Structure formats: structure tokens, C-alpha cells
Structure 1
Amino acid sequence: MDYRQSNGDHTLFFKHFRNEISILLVYVDDMILTGDDLLKIEMLNDKLSACFKIKRLENLKYFLGIEIADSRCGIFLSQLKYILNLLKQTETSGNKLATTPIDPDGKLVQGEDSPPVDRGRYQRLIGKLIYLSHTRPNITYTIRLSQFIHDPREVHNAAARRVLLYLKGTPSYNLLFRPHGHTNVEIFIDVDYAGSIVDKRSTSRYCSFLGGNLITWHNKKQLVVSRSSA
């Protein structure tokens, strides 16, 4: 049985036969090939090499800014190099550290009284933070700063800079995937009630675990104003 999924430059193909799974992930001209049967992987590599000019990099170590490290403890995913480059580009190296990505007592406001900042620079910074959340779920909540990309103010820029100061002190944080002896699915959900003082909307978030490993997480402001807890 074959499965294919495509979204723009992303193409995911995996083939399942009997108890074996082969996965081929393609993004523009970068490709990951993995599966249970090493012989079939080699056969597919040979067929692709016969049709296209391919440079094989052997074991997966780096893909689209994400670093992969295999050890006895499990598989680590991180974006250490991406973070260091981001700190260098934003000139954050000489500043103090932040212990949390957001102010626990602070609230995001529209900031009409705060001076405006460069919109293009703010948008680029938020876009990079969104991409970084692929391996750093602990900054996912800060992506709410994207709601101000059309009219960013100094108060929003300061909040984004705080995220950078937090990353500066935790650049090597990563995700660990390892066997836990089970394949249970666990999902945790949370929501604040009218947490945004800008439009009184709630923000919901969830994370799901498969076999004790975090696999998906999401943070989103609700589309409508909650008027009841029912």
C-alpha cells in the first residue's frame, strides 16, 4: 500500500508492505530516506542514483537547520547552529539572559502608546522564531507575537527580544526520542479564559506523546470570543 502527501515544496512518500515501512521525505533538493529494511533502502538509492545526480551523506546529521544526533540514549533533535546564527544576526551576544521566554506577569497589548519599530525586521524575527519552535516547544506560546506583525511596536519588539535572551541561555536544549517500552498515546490540553486583553479571545494549546515521546504540539488563539465555559 502506497501513501503520498504533498504540500508545496514538501513531499512525503511512504510505502507499507507486511510489517515493513519505508519513508522518503523530499524538500526541494534535500531528501531523507529511512525505513526498516536496509537492503530495500540501498536498492532505492541505486535506482535514484541511476536517474538523478545524488550526493549521499550517509547517516542523517543535519536537515533544513535541524541537527540530528544518534546516541545510546536515543535520538536528539536540536537547532543549536540555527540559534547561534540567529543570536549573531540580531546582535544579542552581549546582553543579559532571561530565565523565561515571556514575562509571567506581563500581558501582550496593542501598544498604541509605544513607538513603532521596523516592520520588516520584526516580521523576519518572528518568522525565524516560528521555525525554531519545530524543536523548541517551550517557545511556542511566544508565537502569539505574530498577531502584531502588521503594526509592531517597541513593546512587542521587547517581548521578542526577551525570547532571544532566553534562547541565549538555553541554546543546547533539544528533543529526545527514545524507547519507553510502550506505544501509548497521551494528549494534554490547556486553554486560558479570555487571556488576551487585546480582543478578549482565549488561547488554546495541546501536546501529544507517542510511546512517551513528544511528537506534536500547537498553540493557537481561538477564532471567536468565548462567552461560556459550557
Structure 2
Amino acid sequence: MIVTEDDQAEIKNLQKYLAFKFEMKSLGDLKYFLGIEVARSKHGIFLSQRKYILDLLAETRMLDCKPIDIFSEQNHKLGFFLDHVPVDKERYQRLVRKLIYLAHTSPNIAYAVSVVSQFMHSPSEDHMGAVMRILSYLKVIPGNGLMFCKYGYTNVEGYTDADWASSVIDSCSTSEYFTFVDGNLVTWRSKKQKVVSRSRADIECHGMAQGVCELLCLRRLLRDLGFGPQKPMNLYCDNNKAVIAIAHNLVQHNCTKHVKVDQHFVKEKLDAEIISFPIISSEYQLADFLMKAVSTTVFLNSLDKLDMCDIFAPT
């Protein structure tokens, strides 16, 4: 159990009450919880899963593997093919589930994990090879994690993007977003859509609406805590000019009734000045590596912007 409070006297009273009712004791400041390691310094709080990764590498006998700098090949063609060689289904599922849990503190592997998790019911040697490639990448950065710092402001902002008809299996699209509070990465998502979209504006509008929903949830949570944002929350988009134009202009809605719910939802938040949509160039779009395999340079630059680091790395 994690107990958090800004009143130390209340924490002690709660601990005494719990100790009286149950057989339990205080273990002091939070350091390790369900595989997640917590480190504190004057710079902030650092979350990682270093021990979890090393245990996973030991379990799969990958501690001596050759490390690689990036986990996923560009323009990969993973899919289902008639001549594929099946592998142990239970082992594959077990490894992918462990990687899914690892992604709680590792947004850098979110895209690769979302890809390999699509083949849980019928994995092949190619799919298992992709899983092993992720493990080889993890050997390079077992101590990588997220740093949470106090910057003194309560800005809430997000980045959203969509990759239209990107799946080689069924031409479904992928949408993704990052959200930040006070400059700290707090939530992220890379999700393949369930239906095929014939329109790029359709999938981008849907992805934008998902990003807006996530920002609204964070806004509501912060207000409950007494730290609600006082100005519109920025949702950064690139290549979404058509969607933004539709959201600002009700006249165009009649031409796009198939996505009118998402459009009216976004328009409502724009009119209330809760959300704003600054347009950024693709080179500054942090969400790119959540939807596709990017080059090593783009990938490493994105990690720097997300404040991902390794406090265990030798100086």
C-alpha cells in the first residue's frame, strides 16, 4: 500500500490505525512497488523498472545477447503469412505481457509492444524475433526511466498524431498521444483502431478527440487536487490542418457527417476556450515514434525531449 499526504501527522495517525487493524508496518519512503523503482533527489522523482528488466533478460537468457540501439526496423512488414513457422504460443504471450507491464515506465517501447501484441493468438518465428529484438534493445538501457521535476507551473499540454491505414494486415489506422503536466510526461497511448477508415481526416479527427478527452481527464483531476490549469490546454498537432479547419467551421460539418460526433465534441471545447490547437512541424511532433518505427536519430532526439534518462549509467 502506498500512502501519500502533505500532512505528516495525518500519515502517522493512519499508519497507527492500519497497524492496529491489520498486521502491517511502515517500510519508510517509497522505493520499490510492484516492480517499479522510485529514486529521489534534489532534481525530482525518478521512476524505472531496472530490476524488472534484468530479471526478464535473465529469464530469457538474453543477458549475454548483442545489444542494439533501436528496437524496431523501419518499414517492417510483420503480419500473418501462409508460410510462417509457428512458435510456442504460451511463451510468446507470457513475454509480451511482461513487456506490456514494462511499458508503464517505458514509453520508448510502446509502439513496438503494440505491434507484437497484435499476434498473441498465432505467433510465428518472425513475431518472436521482434520480441527478442525489443529485449536486445532493453539490454542497452535497463535503467532508463522517467524523471518528474517540479517546475513551478501547472500547464497541461499534449501531442497527438495519427498514421492513416498503416497496418499491413488489415489497413487499420493507428492513433497516439502524449500528455504533459508541468512539463512532465504523465500519460501516453498508441492504439490501433478497430475499423478501417477511408478518410485521413476521419482518423485524425478521431485521434484528436481522444487527445482532448485525455486532457480533460487530467484537467478534472488537477482541479480536484486544487491545481487546475487557468488557461487553455494546448494540444499540438501536425498535418491536421483539415481537421482543425473543420472544428472551427460548422459549415463544413454537413460534408463530413461520418465524423460529426468527434468534430462537434472538439468544436465545443474550442468554443469554451478549454483547448487550443497550435500547429507544429513534423520534426517537433513527439508522438511520431508511438505510431511507427523511426530512424535512430529521430528516436534518440524524442527520448531527450521526453526527459527519459538513466540515472544508473556510468558518468
Q: Which runs of 5+ in 2 are unaligned?
A: 202-315
SS at match of 2:51: helix
d(CA) in 1 for partners of 2:25 and 2:55?
26
SS at match of 2:122: coil
d(CA) in 2 for partners of 1:149 and 1:109?
12
The aligned runs of 1:10-49 (5 Å cut-off) are 31-49=1-19
Corresponding residue of 2:310: none
Is this contact kept in 2: 1:108–1:156, CA < 8 A?
yes
The aligned runs of 1:35-184 (5 Å cut-off) are 35-143=5-113, 144-184=115-155
SS at match of 1:34: coil
**Deviation of the 1:219 alpha carbon:** 1.1
- Worse overlay, 153-162 or 137-146: 137-146
**Deviation of the 1:106 alpha carbon:** 1.3
d(CA) in 2 for partners of 1:226 and 1:88?
42
Equivalent in 188, 192, 197 of residue 159 of structure 2: 188
Is this contact kept in 2: 1:137–1:217, CA < 8 A?
yes
SS at match of 1:219: strand
> Which structure shows the bigger proportion of residues in helix conformation?
2
Corresponding residue of 1:3: none
> Which structure shows the bigger proportion of residues in strand conformation?
1
d(CA) in 1 for partners of 2:91 and 2:33?
26
Corresponding residue of 2:199: 228
SS at match of 1:134: coil
Q: Letter of the aligned partner of 2:28 in structure 1?
A: E
Q: Letter of the aligned partner of 2:94 in structure 1?
A: R
d(CA) in 1 for partners of 2:97 and 2:82?
23
Corresponding residue of 2:294: none
Provide Cα deviations, 1:200-225, integer angstroms capped at 9, x if missing partner: 00111111000100111111100110
Over 2 Å off, 4+ runs: none
**Deviation of the 1:73 alpha carbon:** 1.2
Is this contact kept in 2: 1:122–1:157, CA < 8 A?
yes
Provide Cα deviations, 1:92-141, integer angstroms capped at 9, x if missing partner: 12221121121123122113322100000000000000000000011011
Provide Cα deviations, 1:28-77, integer angstroms capped at 9, x if missing partner: xxx00011111111111111111111121100000000000011111000
Q: Which runs of 5+ in 1 are unaligned?
A: 1-30
d(CA) in 1 for partners of 2:129 and 2:61?
14
SS at match of 1:183: coil
- Residue 197 (1) aligns with residue 182 (2): no
Q: Report the identity percentage.
A: 51
SS at match of 1:91: coil
Corresponding residue of 1:216: 187
SS at match of 1:174: strand
With the length of structure 1 as denominator, give the TM-score of the two structures: 0.85
d(CA) in 2 for partners of 1:107 and 1:191?
19
d(CA) in 2 for partners of 1:158 and 1:84?
19
With the length of structure 2 as denominator, give the TM-score of the two structures: 0.62
Is this contact kept in 2: 1:67–1:80, CA < 8 A?
yes
**Deviation of the 1:229 alpha carbon:** 2.0
